[in-house]
Chain A
Amino acid sequence: MEVTDLMGTAVRLSTPILIAALGEIIVERAGMFNFGIEGIMLIAAFASFTTAFISNNIWLGLLAGVSSGILLGLIFAITAIKLKIHQGVCGITIWFLGLYLSSLLYDLFLFH
């Protein structure tokens, strides 16, 4: 394998980590930590893929991914700040909800 290939793969593979870390940084600068980031990514991946697949439009897919991320982030914020549940527990719940809900939705709608 060429060195440039390797570097290119490194950049490609680091993209999701970079963007996720960017999101987490915003939370951590505010003194919180969001464990649910994995679940949010999974739900957003499902939402953006399904939307882009159905509408044949990548930008609508992007919009769906971002808005589903905002929705789950909102759930995390409401449970952790308004409902005053420990943020670690909220994050874990969002994580598992995202993990299993995205698997469930995939099985229901995409897997035939």
Chain B
Amino acid sequence: MALPNFKDRRKISELFRRGSISLFIVLLAITVGSLFIIVSGKNPLEFLVLSFKGAFGNLHALSNFIAKMIPLTFTGLAVAIAFRNHLFNIGMEGQLYLGALAATWMGITFGNLPAALLLPLIIICAFLAGALGGLIPGILKTKFNVHEAVSTLFLNYIFILFVGFLLYGPMKDPLAQVFPLSSYISHSARLPVLISGTNIHFGLIIAIGCVFIMNFILSNTTFGYKSKAIGSNPISSNYAGINVSKNIILILAISGGIAGLGGMSEICGFHHRLMEGFSPGYGFLGITVGILGRFHPLGVIFGAFLVSFLLAGTKAATYALEISAYFAYALAALVILFYFIFEYLRK
């Protein structure tokens, strides 16, 4: 079809409208946040200029900005898949760590395999490890009626502390004296850099690929339709003959697996070794990404763009003006609160 028909055009204007609302919410949060800047005796306009410079000012800033978008796209996609079906998976942080753990373990243990074989294996393993983190709350929900928001929240601590335990003990690099770091993964386990001299790695292509694959699955397959039906009304879905338990477990496992891929891309593409606290809250920020993307797989890319601006640009400005580094995170929380109010006003 050469020309977009009426329906497509309406779709595009709808996308544009949603995107501009998300953009407005972020700008509103920054405006309200400026009060804190004024209180601390700094100039908010200078802060805004420094934020834009910190995100897009030069090649280094831009590469940092895009590198931060990659894990945010993964965790945001994980949130979008679960939340749009009314499954409140908030264990992305733990699932991210599980994926990173699997990737590091594979990258160290099977380091002598060629990259063409090792990288797909690592991607599959990281996905499965993250999926395990989603499978457990899924089984708990369907078998024991435990609310998934509670179980994923507490599993976060279990997975993150488990990784910490491994880093202080069995996986600790013998050369690292003080800090709990693992050894470096082998060179064949590292994701290639797309543009030399920057941090932009192959994870970007995997992230965008995941977004389009999930968009296809959710909108064009029976699984996507079934999961949507379950999200709207599980009782009537069960009556209509959909296996509710199986689909709930599957959605949570896929959501966890994608968060696990985010951990893999951070380790194999950027850090090349596992360390405590390698994620500056990508799991939590994923909720902001998902909300700004309106829980739509394609919207997640735009949401990741906005949150990455907070994480890369605003954070650089807070360092330059010596404001607290928590400012960017407080803004990310304010964004969610404003979104709630907007949702209410829209109705």
B180-210 near A? 1/0 per residue, CB < 8 Å: 0000000000000000000000000000000
A33 to B148, alpha carbons, bound, how many Å? Answer: 13
B235 adjacent to chain A (CB < 8 Å): no
Q: Which 4 A-B pairs have the closest CB atoms?
A: A107-B324, A88-B149, A100-B329, A97-B333
User: B39: which A residues are within 8 A, CB to CB?
Assistant: 108
User: B324: which A residues are within 8 A, CB to CB?
Assistant: 103-104, 106-108
The answer to whether B88 and A86 have CB atoms under 8 Å apart is yes
A84 to B337, alpha carbons, bound, how many Å? Answer: 13
Asked if A83 meets B341 with Cβ closer than 8 Å, knowing A89-B88, A108-B39, the reply is yes
For A82, A83, A90, A106, which residue has the most chain B Cβ atoms within 10 angstroms? A83
Asked if A104 meets B149 with Cβ closer than 8 Å, knowing A83-B341, A92-B287, the reply is no
Asked if A79 meets B149 with Cβ closer than 8 Å, knowing A92-B90, A103-B324, A108-B324, the reply is no
Which residues of chain A (78-105) have a CB below 8 Å from chain B?
Answer: 79, 82-86, 88-90, 92-93, 96-97, 99-101, 103-104
B36 adjacent to chain A (CB < 8 Å): yes
A108 to B36, alpha carbons, bound, how many Å? Answer: 8
A46 adjacent to chain B (CB < 8 Å): no
The answer to whether A103 and B326 have CB atoms under 8 Å apart is yes
The answer to whether A104 and B90 have CB atoms under 8 Å apart is no
The answer to whether B333 and A83 have CB atoms under 8 Å apart is no
Q: Closest residue to A97 on the B side, CB-wise?
A: B333
Instruction: Specify which of B147, B326, B343, B344 is in contact with A107 (CB 8 Å cutoff).
Output: B326
The answer to whether A97 and B343 have CB atoms under 8 Å apart is no
B150 adjacent to chain A (CB < 8 Å): yes
Q: Taking beta carbons and an 8 Å cutoff, which residues of A are in contact with B? A: 33, 35, 75, 79, 82-86, 88-90, 92-93, 96-97, 99-101, 103-104, 106-108
B40 adjacent to chain A (CB < 8 Å): yes
User: B337: which A residues are within 8 A, CB to CB?
Assistant: 75, 79, 93, 97
The answer to whether A93 and B333 have CB atoms under 8 Å apart is yes
The answer to whether B88 and A88 have CB atoms under 8 Å apart is yes
B55-95 near A? 1/0 per residue, CB < 8 Å: 00000000000000000000000000001001010100000
Q: Is the interface of B mostly helix, strand, loop or mixed?
A: helix
Q: Closest residue to B336 on the A side, CB-wise?
A: A93
A103 to B331, alpha carbons, bound, how many Å? Answer: 12
The answer to whether B336 and A35 have CB atoms under 8 Å apart is no
The contact size tier of chain B is 20 to 34
B153 adjacent to chain A (CB < 8 Å): yes
B308-331 near A? 1/0 per residue, CB < 8 Å: 000000000000000111110110
The answer to whether B343 and A83 have CB atoms under 8 Å apart is yes
Asked if A96 meets B284 with Cβ closer than 8 Å, knowing A85-B340, A89-B88, A107-B326, the reply is yes
A86 to B149, alpha carbons, bound, how many Å? Answer: 11
B334 adjacent to chain A (CB < 8 Å): yes
A33 to B150, alpha carbons, bound, how many Å? Answer: 10
Q: Closest residue to A101 on the B side, CB-wise?
A: B330
User: B284: which A residues are within 8 A, CB to CB?
Assistant: 92, 96
A35 to B151, alpha carbons, bound, how many Å? Answer: 12
Instruction: Specify which of A33, A83, A99, A106 is in contact with B340 (CB 8 Å cutoff).
Output: A83
The answer to whether B340 and A108 have CB atoms under 8 Å apart is no
User: A96: which B residues are within 8 A, CB to CB?
Assistant: 284, 329, 332-333, 336
User: B83: which A residues are within 8 A, CB to CB?
Assistant: 89
Q: Closest residue to B337 on the A side, CB-wise?
A: A93
User: B329: which A residues are within 8 A, CB to CB?
Assistant: 96, 99-100, 103
Question: Could you pull out 13 A-B pairs where Cβ atoms are within 8 angstroms?
Answer: A35-B149, A35-B153, A83-B341, A85-B343, A89-B336, A93-B333, A93-B337, A96-B332, A97-B333, A103-B326, A104-B327, A106-B324, A108-B39
A96 to B334, alpha carbons, bound, how many Å? Answer: 9
Asked if A97 meets B330 with Cβ closer than 8 Å, knowing A35-B153, A83-B340, the reply is yes
Q: Closest residue to B328 on the A side, CB-wise?
A: A100
User: A101: which B residues are within 8 A, CB to CB?
Assistant: 330, 333
The answer to whether A93 and B149 have CB atoms under 8 Å apart is no
Q: Closest residue to B291 on the A side, CB-wise?
A: A89
A99 to B325, alpha carbons, bound, how many Å? Answer: 13
A33 to B39, alpha carbons, bound, how many Å? Answer: 35
User: A85: which B residues are within 8 A, CB to CB?
Assistant: 340, 343
